[in-house]
Amino acid sequence: MTPVRWLLTGAGGMVGRDLGDALRSCGEDLVACTREDLDITTPRMINAVVEETRPAIIVNCAAYTKVDAAEENEGIANAVNGSAVEFLAYAADAAGALLVQISTDFVFDGAKRIPYEINDQTNPCSVYGRSKLLGEFAASHAEKHLVIRTSWLFGVHGPNFVEAIRNQILKGTTPLRVVNDQRGRPTYTPHLANAIIRSARLAHDSPDARGMLHYADEGECTWFDFAKAIVEESGATTDVRPVTTDEFPRPATRPPYSVLSTERYERITGVQPESWREGLREYLAARG
């Protein structure tokens, strides 16, 4: 496959670093921009970088991801997750590039009890979810675009649930109280990176592969189930006890059910999602 030039925003983040590593290992022509290199809320900077680099594919991994803090910082969340994506869409069109936008299961309210399909009604119940939905709409303004929703991310290059549980284990905290009434699909960011590359290559070449798709690792669980798996794979004996969301209040409302259907991803790529449990083992081996 002939390499094309990729422009990666948010290259210093958890997803961005794994995606950058994966692209380099594939021998792709990559321009990786961290937040210090490119502030995506500044159209002038976006236009200058895109004009200079002339990418074929732009992947936006830059995002405001502090779900609870977003409740008090709606303007910032909307600027980064929403308005900035509009600037990227215009720049992508000017370069004739494909824009790939990473989105979230939090665009859904969790009222369903069967996996969410790509065309299901969105109804975010938090500022973060609404800001990411704005980003989906903004990305769709690019003539060539691909929006990839994903969920419950964990990777070695950023704060995440696995590390939070590991820290509690190391502190000797017991029992651990973890919510058992929120259900989703954990996703290891190197697995997501491979899925982004696979999907973006297809979308670059074919309009039929563009639009919306979901990628999440195989297997659904609650946060309580996830925590138990982390304890088990760590070889710890920490007691993990289930609690309800009401017993563990947070500023931002979470969807109680946000399992994503990956049917379109599987159909377009011909590839099954990888296992989050395998991802967890890889994560723990990497962290040591």
Q: Looking up tokens 């599987």, which residue turns up?
A: 266
Collect contacts of 67-74 with beta carbons under 8 A, ≥24 apart: 67/106, 67/126, 67/128, 67/250, 67/252, 67/254, 68/250, 68/251, 68/252, 69/251, 70/126, 70/127, 70/128, 70/131, 70/252, 71/126, 71/127, 71/251, 71/252, 72/251, 73/127, 74/127, 74/131
Pick the catalytic residue: 64, 128, 257, 265?
A: 128
128 is catalytic: yes
Decide the pairing of beta strands 98-104 and 145-150.
parallel
Q: Residue count of the chain, please give it.
A: 288
Characterise 98 by phi-psi region: left (phi > 0), alpha (psi -120 to 50), beta (else).
beta
Residues carrying an active site annotation: 128
